[in-house]
């Protein structure tokens, strides 16, 4: 068996290889979704199962789980064709086998050592445009994946080291951004080559057998650690249901339901009560669902290492007929909204079994907003960004104001960069008072973004959620505010019929868009919040005086101090 010291050393060395692959792609990528938002990931995967052995720390969290499926898809394809060779690199974006959505292109490279397959290296990155009906590929009206973009199954981009330009030609011909595509593809190839060099150096130094043992040992320790974590939780079944507003096609809510069972050292997550597959693009593939369970578990048990061992003691039940396990050609472009909800129900159920480890729901929607038009000189412009919201209250304190989504580590572009690039400007970019879910620990605040158009006209697209079902509180905490979007027309402000989803509404110069994003849910009963903490929230303008009384039972008098007597009385009526 490998000695514990070498194991600790190798763990750091292996993680550094994956981290360096991430950094290489971030620096050289042409498209800001990878370069700035870090919508990419790299790792090392098992030669026979495709399971995640090592994953970089800086890549997109949701890919950590999804990539194992992508590598397995390549393993199955190579087995079927029986032609895997040293120097091959597969490329594909099939979301049904490889997870997530069509924008994410995966490159998978078998790594050979002395003529034998040793492991796989893989890279995934979100490309700028992969065809389909809508530039940027967020199409809320898609009913088939063919409206969302090109679909490439696993094919050899390199055949025993020979680059297949024809494959690249096909992909470039199907994109509105062929140069960006070519740049990102090259960045991913570079990252894989770098990973191969670094891994070879490590194997030369420590020996193939020792490193293989380290892989096995790291998996089994992650599994062991996870078992210990689960064993500490009381046995039982804990349920949590939450809803998506609609699928963008039919305005009916969709249920994401979880029955979480703890039994000794194992945990079962049963999503059988969830809604069936839907017409619009908020379906997800099974691989995506499993990957998002992994994200939720890693957020709660963040001491376990990032490898597939974490999921060993966890059973996931997702029947084929739910919206969480669809097959081609069901549309999956809005997968972010569904996995955010799936993560929310895991938090919600975990809060019932382990309130000291869990947090309330975060804002729970990506709010992909784009604004597109033509300039006076005829040039086309497309502004596209995701927006932030509040994080959930948690055992240690209030939720973070204006954070990024739990599935991502992306930052938002600066106001001044957006304004210098596009003919629009923000008339407001602020925290949204009263949006944090009331609780002993308040949910973090969402934001208010208001945009005014400077060009003659533009078309607006939005892909968001939480317009009808607010982020939930836990342990007695209350809901955060709903997502609210409105757009100005000649006769005043309107809201999209699908709440937070709309396609191609035209606005004119001087007209405004107003996006108000949800805050996080609260943690613990709001009547348990210290009146002084509520007073501070009122002084800082996080909570209005009315809301302090309504939501917290704290009465603040005209001098700006807590009216202790009325507060005590009011709270007494609330807790009865």
In the structure, how many helices (H) and strands (E) does the chain have? 13, 20
- Which structure tokens are listed for 520? 């996080």
- Which structure tokens are listed for 134? 């809508």
Considering the complex, state which of residue 43 and residue 95 has its C-beta at the smaller distance from other proteins: 43
CB of 412 to other proteins, least distance (A): 4
Considering the complex, state which of residue 61 and residue 496 has its C-beta at the smaller distance from other proteins: 61
Considering the complex, state which of residue 54 and residue 332 has its C-beta at the smaller distance from other proteins: 54
Considering the complex, state which of residue 84 and residue 430 has its C-beta at the smaller distance from other proteins: 430
Q: Are 571 and 549 in contact (CB under 8 A)?
A: no
Q: Are 510 and 557 in contact (CB under 8 A)?
A: no
Q: Are 488 and 515 in contact (CB under 8 A)?
A: no
CB of 319 to other proteins, least distance (A): 29
Considering the complex, state which of residue 319 and residue 395 has its C-beta at the smaller distance from other proteins: 395
Between CA 443 and CA 377 the distance in angstroms is: 46
CB of 200 to other proteins, least distance (A): 14
Cβ burial, residue 243 (10 Å; 0-12/13-18/19+)? middle
Q: What angle do CA 278, 495, 324 make, to 5 degrees?
A: 20
Considering the complex, state which of residue 494 and residue 539 has its C-beta at the smaller distance from other proteins: 539
CB of 36 to other proteins, least distance (A): 5
CB of 217 to other proteins, least distance (A): 9
Considering the complex, state which of residue 19 and residue 563 has its C-beta at the smaller distance from other proteins: 19
What are the angstrom distances between the C-alpha of 372 and each of 68, 141, 281, 385? 36, 17, 21, 12
Considering the complex, state which of residue 146 and residue 426 has its C-beta at the smaller distance from other proteins: 426
CB of 385 to other proteins, least distance (A): 10
Q: Which residues are 42's β-sheet partners?
A: 123
E strands of 417-548, at which residues?
Answer: 424-431, 447-453, 457-463, 484-489, 492-494, 501-508, 512-516
Between CA 243 and CA 140 the distance in angstroms is: 17
Between CA 466 and CA 483 the distance in angstroms is: 5
CB of 306 to other proteins, least distance (A): 8
- Which structure tokens are listed for 256? 């994401």
CB of 186 to other proteins, least distance (A): 9
């Amino acid at each position: 068996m490998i000695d514990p010291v070498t194991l600790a050393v190798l763990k750091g060395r292996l993680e550094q290889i994956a981290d360096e692959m991430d950094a290489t792609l971030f620096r050289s990528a042409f498209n800001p979704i990878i370069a700035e938002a870090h919508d990419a990931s790299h790792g090392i995967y098992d030669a026979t199962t495709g399971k995640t052995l090592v994953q970089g720390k800086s890549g997109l969290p949701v890919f950590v789980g999804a990539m194992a499926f992508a590598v397995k898809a390549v393993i199955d394809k190579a087995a079927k064709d029986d032609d895997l060779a040293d120097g091959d690199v597969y490329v594909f974006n099939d979301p049904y086998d490889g997870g997530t959505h069509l924008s994410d292109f995966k490159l998978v490279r078998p790594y050979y050592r002395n003529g034998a397959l040793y492991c796989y290296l893989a890279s995934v990155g979100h490309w700028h445009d992969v065809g389909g009906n809508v530039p940027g590929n967020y199409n809320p009206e898609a009913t088939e994946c063919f409206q969302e973009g090109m679909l490439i199954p696993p094919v050899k981009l390199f055949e025993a080291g020979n680059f297949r330009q024809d494959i690249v030609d096909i992909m470039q011909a199907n994109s509105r951004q062929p140069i960006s595509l070519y740049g990102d593809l090259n960045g991913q190839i570079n990252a894989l080559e770098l990973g191969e060099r670094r891994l070879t150096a490590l194997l030369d130094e420590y020996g193939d057998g020792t490193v293989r043992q380290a892989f096995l040992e790291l998996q089994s320790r992650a599994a062991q650690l996870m078992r210990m974590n689960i064993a500490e939780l009381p046995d039982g079944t804990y349920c949590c249901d939450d809803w998506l507003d609609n699928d963008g096609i039919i305005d009916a809510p969709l249920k994401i339901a979880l029955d979480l069972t703890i039994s000794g050292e194992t945990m079962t997550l049963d999503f059988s009560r969830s809604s069936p597959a839907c017409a619009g693009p908020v379906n997800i593939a099974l691989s995506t669902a499993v990957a998002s369970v992994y994200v939720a578990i890693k957020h709660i048990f963040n001491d376990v290492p990032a490898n597939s061992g974490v999921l060993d003691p966890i059973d996931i039940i997702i029947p084929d007929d739910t919206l969480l396990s669809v097959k081609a050609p069901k549309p999956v472009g809005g997968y972010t909204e569904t996995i955010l909800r799936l993560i929310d129900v895991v938090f919600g159920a975990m809060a019932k079994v382990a309130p000291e480890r869990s947090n309330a729901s975060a804002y729970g929607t990506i709010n992909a907003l784009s604004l597109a038009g033509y300039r006076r000189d005829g040039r086309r412009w497309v502004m596209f960004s995701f927006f932030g919201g509040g994080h959930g209250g948690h055992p240690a304190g209030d939720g973070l104001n204006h954070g990024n989504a739990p599935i991502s580590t992306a930052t938002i572009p600066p106001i001044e960069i957006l304004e210098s690039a596009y003919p629009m400007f923000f008339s407001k970019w602020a925290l949204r008072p009263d949006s944090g879910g009331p609780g002993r620990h308040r949910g973090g605040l969402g934001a208010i973004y208001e945009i005014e158009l400077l060009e003659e006209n533009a078309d607006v697209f939005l892909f968001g959620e939480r317009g009808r079902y607010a982020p939930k509180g836990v342990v007695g905490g209350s809901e955060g505010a709903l997502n609210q979007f409105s757009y100005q027309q000649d006769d005043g402000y309107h809201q999209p019929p699908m709440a937070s989803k709309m396609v191609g509404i035209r606005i004119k110069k001087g007209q405004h868009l107003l996006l108000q994003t949800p805050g996080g849910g609260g943690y613990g009963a709001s009547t348990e919040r210290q009146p002084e903490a509520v007073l501070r929230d009122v002084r800082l303008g996080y909570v209005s005086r009315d809301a302090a009384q309504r939501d917290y039972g704290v009465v603040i008098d005209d001098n700006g101090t807590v009216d202790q007597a009325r507060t005590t009385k009011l709270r007494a009526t609330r807790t009865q």
